[in-house]
A and B are shown apart, each in its own frame.
Chain A
């Protein structure tokens, strides 16, 4: 079945630095990927929709200059948290749409998530 690999699974960085999170579709082409943020004991909040070869669509209230999304190929989307602050500490999860069918997740496959801690 469709697999999405997300890396790193955990990262600790200093305040003011930038962190890049990668999301790869391993056995299918993902023209659309979604980036979510999850606070402790809260649900997934959609941050942006990433489209291959074009600009990402950000949800209301998400700073696009702070959370840079690049979807340069059909198998890779990256989220860069720029000038990270402690309040950016969270669990970030990507999801890719698989349009090829036959996927028991009916087209939404999630990465394993990245826990970001900014100190």
Chain B
């Protein structure tokens, strides 16, 4: 059974800190790994990673994938209170409908 595990489950930091969120996976037919940010409603897309070692960057957020060790990290530098959210990692399989399997999420709280 495909599995995605995120850590930590919860994280509280002060504004300005840098955080690293982790995602490890066990998937039979890996296609891609996606990161989402969820505030109150539906998840919003952050990154999609398919190749090892290539960092994706968007402003203060960056992410990288290690397909050998089966994990990914999401970094947020100079955190702001608006970064408070649940960050979800999902892995897409290569077969059939290419469904996504989600991890449990990391609840990030940024205190002023």
- Which residues in A have some Cβ–Cβ distance to B below 8 Å? 6, 32, 34, 36, 41-46, 49, 51, 57, 93, 95, 97, 104-108, 110-113
Contacts and interface: CB of A to CB of B under 8 A. Distances in A.
Contacts, number: 52
Chain B contact-residue range equals 20 to 34
Interface in B29-77: 32, 34, 41-45, 48
- Lowest 9 CB-CB distances: which A-B pairs, in order? A110-B42, A105-B45, A44-B102, A106-B48, A43-B102, A49-B97, A43-B104, A43-B105, A32-B97
Dominant secondary structure of chain B at its interface with chain A: strand
Given A43-B88, A43-B105, A110 B43 contact: yes
B103 A93 contact: no
A113 B34 CA distance: 19
Contact of A97 (B42, B88, B97): B97
30 contacts: A32-B97, A34-B97, A34-B99, A43-B88, A43-B102, A43-B103, A44-B43, A44-B88, A44-B102, A45-B102, A46-B99, A46-B100, A46-B102, A49-B96, A49-B97, A49-B99, A51-B97, A57-B97, A95-B100, A105-B45, A106-B34, A106-B45, A107-B98, A108-B34, A108-B92, A110-B43, A110-B44, A112-B42, A113-B41, A113-B42
